[in-house]
Amino acid sequence: MQQHHGQVLRRAQDVFTATLDLLTARGFDGPTIEGVAERCGVNKTTIYRWWPSKAALVAAAHARTFFADRLARERPVFDRAAARGELPPDADPMLLMDLLAGAVWVRVAFRGLPVGDGFAERAVAAVLDGAAARP
């Protein structure tokens, strides 16, 4: 099962790479599901199984790139917090970022509520109180 999961993740990354390459080369109108499938060697049904439209695929590719880059940029913040004893050494930065991003996503996309004043501070405090190093 673990090997299958790794293959799926690699295949998804191949699809994202092909999508972003075609988008860069041709603009939004350039890439097609068929073109992405051909470029990365999958069937178009594979792409449609994961993303219902080109717009959803492009959004997912951008989000994946943004969050992967974001995690790499934010990693030193987590490392410094662990070095100062503010987080346990085994704290999972990706999980912490997922929890924070998820809080915003649920608030805005599912509940249709604004992210009002103080929301970010309260969300960070709630996550960190659960992940803080214990004396």
Residue labelled with tokens 């214990």: 134
Given pLDDT bands bounded at 50, 70 and 90, which one contains residue 83? very high
Given pLDDT bands bounded at 50, 70 and 90, which one contains residue 34? very high
> Would the pLDDT of 3 be above 70?
no
Q: Give the domains, in start order, of the chain with CATH numbers.
A: 1-62 (1.10.10.60)
Of 35, 98, 31, which Cα lies nearest the Cα of 58?
Answer: 31
Half-sphere CA count of 6, side-chain side, radius 13 A: 3
Token pair for 13: 């990354």
Of 49, 51, 41, which Cα lies nearest the Cα of 18?
Answer: 41
What proportion of the chain, given as a percentage, has pLDDT over 70? 93
* 50 touches 58 (CB < 8 A): no
pTM value?
0.58
* 54 touches 31 (CB < 8 A): yes
User: How far is Cα 62 from Cα 103, in angstroms, rounded to an integer?
Assistant: 20
Token pair for 72: 């790499």
